[in-house]
């Protein structure tokens, strides 16, 4: 990686759990205990009733081969259904899968599409990734100002990659931007203290 180049976040998220969700929660308990087939038994009926969290969780089971035969295609099917019902985590994971060739082929355009959808739902990692794609023109026209706007949204939610992207962009004048020490200093206040 070249100096100053940003990288995408490609770590998949963990299970979605709604507080007090009955069968969804029981499935999560089974999952935590390593009983993935029981988790599947709780989540499948919910998924068939269009529960986005259950659909997302089933997608993770298939993506990782937990209690079922590993099947990226089936995982993507569940993630797409969950995303269609508003799951930002599912849309994020679809972006990861398309970029990482888990769809059978790499597709920057598809990754971009799903990260944009998740970013619009307020998903910080997707906002950062979508910004990186825009900044470099990966799968789309280059749009640095839009990238910076998405990074600002992600940084305000505590996404440290976005914070660092803003600091580097403003302090080093990346992407053709005029260096701006005041902006770099402002965004450095968002650095995690951990």
Q: pLDDT tens, 149-183? A: 999 999 999 999 999 999 999 999 999 999 999 99
Among 103, 125, 48, which Cα is nearest to 81's? 48
Instruction: Give the pLDDT score at 193.
Output: 63
Mean pLDDT over 130-151 rounds to: 96
Q: Tell me the torsion sign for CA atoms 110, 18, 24, 47.
A: negative
pLDDT tens column, 36-63: 999 999 999 999 999 999 999 999 999 9
Residue 33 gets which letter from DSSP? T
What is the average pLDDT score of the chain?
Answer: 90
Share of the chain above pLDDT 90, in %: 82
């Amino acid at each position: 990686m070249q100096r100053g180049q940003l990288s995408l976040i490609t770590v998949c998220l963990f299970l979605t759990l709604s507080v007090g969700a009955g069968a969804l929660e029981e499935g999560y308990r089974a999952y935590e205990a390593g009983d993935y087939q029981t988790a599947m038994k709780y989540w499948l009926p919910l998924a068939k009733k269009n529960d986005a969290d259950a659909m997302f969780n089933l997608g993770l089971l298939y993506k990782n081969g937990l209690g079922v035969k590993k099947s990226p295609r089936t995982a993507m099917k569940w993630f797409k259904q969950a995303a269609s019902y508003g799951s930002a985590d599912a849309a994020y994971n679809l972006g990861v899968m398309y970029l990482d060739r888990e769809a059978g082929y790499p597709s920057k355009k598809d990754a971009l599409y799903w990260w944009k959808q998740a970013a619009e739902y307020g998903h910080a990692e997707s906002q950062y990734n979508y910004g990186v794609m825009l900044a470099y023109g990966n799968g789309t026209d280059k749009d640095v100002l839009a990238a910076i706007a998405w990074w600002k949204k992600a940084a305000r939610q505590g996404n440290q990659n976005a914070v660092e992207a803003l600091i580097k962009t403003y302090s080093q004048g990346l992407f053709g931007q005029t260096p701006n020490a005041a902006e770099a200093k402002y965004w450095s206040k968002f650095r995690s203290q951990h």
